[in-house]
Amino acid sequence: MNGQAWMLLLEGAWTTVWISGIAIALGVVIGLVIAMVRMARIPFIDQILVLYVSLARATPLVTLSLFLFLATPTFGIAMDRNTAAILALTLNTAAFNAEVWRSAFLSFSREQKEAAMACGMTNGTFFRRIMLPQMFTSSLPGLVNEMSFLIKSSPAIAVIGVVELTRVTNRITAVTYEPLPPILAAAVLYMLIIGALLKLQAIAEKKANRLAM
């Protein structure tokens, strides 16, 4: 491959990184909020969230991306390709993250809360200083696994015209008629992206362990 092909691949990789990065950040926060609301067991709202989580987890990213980009204008909501891609990825990963967070909620011992309340700690302080750090530590492997899966699933957004890494690879292959070099290069770039994510996970786990000591 020539230098121009490598530049195109790097541009596609950057598009994959920043779109997935925004979706990951939003998905982690939204997933946490959904899990907290579900644990409160508010009638009707809980049922809506259960339906959302079920539908979002069951709907293929390709279908969700097409719906957001092509069908929403029918309802008077128009968005560009990148916005539709970010929203599709966010809605998908938030549903999975909600279940990861909810599992952490369910595994948290009531004895710790009772001890904190006995010491005069408020619910907000208990959640911020004790519960959330422990939940984050226990949920981190599941959250990072979902982040990795989202990045590997991001080629689905190419269906609406987003020029991410896999779409660039296909374009180069169509021009050069040599599929192996761009495919191998794309595989290496995906490995570097996922490897960086796993490195961040290791750093976060070490920091969390030090704070817990």
User: Residue 69: its pLDDT value, please?
Assistant: 94
Split into its structural domains, the chain has a count of: 1
Residue 3 forms part of a structural domain: no
User: Residue 33: its pLDDT value, please?
Assistant: 95
User: For residue 212, is pLDDT > 70?
Assistant: no
**What gap in Å lies between CA 122 and CA 124, rounded to an integer?**
5
**What gap in Å lies between CA 155 and CA 62, rounded to an integer?**
9
Residue 10 forms part of a structural domain: no
At a CB cut-off of 8 Å and minimum separation 6, what does 133 contact?
208, 211, 212
- Residue 170's alpha-carbon distances to 1, 31, 75, 90, 175, in angstroms, are 14, 33, 33, 25, 9
**What gap in Å lies between CA 193 and CA 11, rounded to an integer?**
13
Residue range 48-104, pLDDT digits in tens: 999 999 999 999 999 999 999 998 888 888 899 999 999 999 999 999 999 999 998
pLDDT tier for residue 213 given thresholds of 50, 70 and 90: low
Reported residue count of the chain is 213
Mean pLDDT (the chain) is 90
**What gap in Å lies between CA 163 and CA 11, rounded to an integer?**
9
Residue 107 forms part of a structural domain: yes
Residue 211 forms part of a structural domain: no
Domain encompassing residue 71: 16-162
Residue 209 forms part of a structural domain: no
Per 3-state DSSP, the chain is made up of helix, strand and coil in percentages (nearest 5) of: 85, 0, 15
CATH number of the domain where residue 146 is located: 1.10.3720.10
Residue range 148-171, pLDDT digits in tens: 999 999 999 999 999 999 999 999
